[in-house]
Amino acid sequence: MVSSRDAKPAAALAVGLVAFGWIGGGFNAYELGLYVIYGIATQGVAMCWGRLGILSLGNAMFFGMGGYLCGALMKAASANALWYVLAPAVLVLPCVLAYTIGRLLFSRTTRAGPYFSLVTLALSILAGLIAEQWSSVTGGYNGMLGIPALPGFDRYGSFYWVIVVAAVASTWLITTVSSRPLGVVWRGIAQNEHRLQLYGYATDRIKAWAFALSALLAALAGALFTLQQGLVTPQAVGFALSTDLVIWAAVGGKSSALGSLLGAVGVGYASMLLRQHFSEWEVVNGALFVTVVLYLPNGLAGLWPRRTAPREPFGEVAAPSIVKSAKPLQLELHDVHAGLGGVRILNGLKLSLDGPGIRSVIGPNGAGKTSTFNAITGQLKTRQGRILLDGVSIQGLEAWRIARRGIGRKFQIPTVFPELSVADNLRLALWAQRLHGMAWLSRRPQAWRTEVMSGLLERFPVLGRELGSRAGDISQGHRQALEFAMTMLPEPRLVLLDEPCAGLSPTETAHMAQSIRAMVQRIGAAALLIEHDISAVAAMGGEVFVLHQGALLARGDLAQMQADPSVRAVYAGGRK
């Protein structure tokens, strides 16, 4: 189903380009078409930069790749039309290359942003050198010349309408995808990628696919450039064009498909007109870029008033169920050692739990409580020992793979997605491990609801009242409730709760403790709770683990731990 809201930017662009084509005349339309082509490539850069927070400094490589592949195909097809069968390769090969680059870079760390930018910059420079030196294929410095026009189209006339169709389609595509679940996940990656991994999202793959889509747009633009110009040179591959694409995206608006395209058209067209009469234009162009980055982070598109149509945050569509193991959960930590540098954090930790229910983890500051959670969830590398979940080692697995085995985590300081609404924060958690296939691009998941979701909104009605608010604007107590709800929505088998009552009043603490007990029992999970408030520990009941200096000191019920001399010697606990 096509949303009228999604179609508005594309419709506005279509009206403007069609009007210009009728009024401006053939030559003016030809010149404008060139910068519309650049605008399509700019949209790919802006999509990754503005929505996922990853900046490519080498998208001209895919622009040139699409151009050279298209030129070679058109030359071959002019002699034998069967070559047109390979036309999809013009777009597919750059996509495959981009996806491969993305997987290699993003799978290593969530902090690959600067390295990604530098690597793409280096690859663009390398591609330019190859285009210059491989003269037998590319034509060398002079480029590939004499490329035939697209059959049935005049490159100085009717081909303009092919460019218009491509630009309208790319604008609609990016706008539509950005409003669907995939677009919400993209924005979540930009704000807190690591948190998404702890819900089970394979963010390295999601970013690699986004980069592949940006390469597709660049390759499409490169092919259109070749068909319009009748040639392609190494300048279409190198760093200079990559820089222009970044500048145009920033000026027009890196978060807007229409704005980024208009940035390329406006600044690029102005450059063409003014460069001949104003020798200092490049300095002005650079100053414009710096000014926009400093004072208009959303570019000129950020000046446009935006009206968000009110909508029902959740519907009554039953969300797909998550497949769970029927066996009772078993977690075992055997002689686990971990540290940072020369500092020991975990020192031969032995801990085990079997089956559902709440267990509390207490101990003095620095005892290794949070580090234990970090080791379980893959955030802290272990030096020795074993961590087994249901008898299978989970050491060395990526955080998202561990999460998909049924482990959920809440942090002491709530880690929500501050720029997203409360409703979209909840959706990100609800969608975890439930989005498959075309659901990523469907509006239907926005109406998903589960019994757990309904139960959480009943227990925390304040979340229901603030569904439209930015998560970063709500109070600390409400953020604690929000992150707890987000932790429970994927219905994990093992819930790790790190001081969920921190910053709450005694009344709020009692309500949170009651909610934890009820929701853990409702989903049949096992839970490990770190807490310094002994009254909250008492309210939870169940077994208590006491940690000290990275090892297990004692275990038993709370009364036994309070009476144990070895425990009392190192930890007294506290109450609100």
Q: What is the pLDDT of residue 310?
A: 44
Residue type (1 letter), 50 = G
CA distance 557 to 271: 75
Q: Are 399 and 432 in contact (CB under 8 A)?
A: no
Helices and strands, number each (H, E), in the chain: 22, 12
Q: What is the pLDDT of residue 307?
A: 54
Nearest to 172 by CA among 16, 18, 10, 15: 10
CA distance 515 to 532: 18
Q: Which domains does the chain have, with CATH numbers?
A: 4-301 (no CATH), 330-568 (3.40.50.300)
Q: What is the pLDDT of residue 503?
A: 82
Tell me how far CA of residue 177 lies from CA of 174, 314, 443, in angstroms: 5, 19, 10
- Per-residue pLDDT of the chain in tens (576 residues, 90 and over written 9): 455 566 788 999 999 999 988 887 788 899 999 999 999 999 999 999 999 999 999 999 999 999 999 999 999 999 999 999 999 999 999 999 999 999 999 987 766 678 899 999 999 999 999 999 999 999 999 999 999 999 999 999 999 999 999 999 999 999 999 999 999 999 999 999 999 999 999 999 999 999 999 999 999 999 999 999 999 999 999 888 998 999 999 989 999 999 999 999 988 777 776 666 676 767 777 777 788 778 887 888 877 766 544 445 677 888 888 887 778 899 999 999 998 877 888 999 999 999 999 999 999 988 999 999 999 999 999 989 999 999 999 998 999 999 999 999 999 889 999 999 999 999 999 999 999 999 999 999 999 999 999 999 999 999 999 999 999 999 989 999 999 999 999 999 999 999 998 888 888 888 999 999 999 999 999 999 998 888 888 888 889 999 999 999 999 999 998 888 998 888 766 555
Which residues is 574 bridged to in the sheet?
533
The CA R_g of the chain, rounded to the nearest whole Å, is: 28
Q: Where are the beta strands (DSSP E) in 423-520?
A: 448-449, 494-498
User: pTM of this prediction?
Assistant: 0.92
Sheet holding 330-340, edge to edge: 343-354, 330-340, 382-389, 392-393
Q: What is the pLDDT of residue 402?
A: 95
Cα dihedral 501, 502, 505, 508, rounded to 10, equals -20
Q: What is the pLDDT of residue 2?
A: 52
Q: Where are the beta strands (DSSP E) in 200-324?
A: 317-318
Q: What is the pLDDT of residue 26?
A: 81
Residues 6+ apart with CB under 8 A from 243: 57
Q: What is the pLDDT of residue 112?
A: 67
Residue type (1 letter), 68 = Y
CA distance 347 to 504: 32
10 Å Cβ neighbour count for 40?
A: 27
CA distance 217 to 125: 20
Q: Are 325 and 525 in contact (CB under 8 A)?
A: no
CA distance 245 to 59: 8
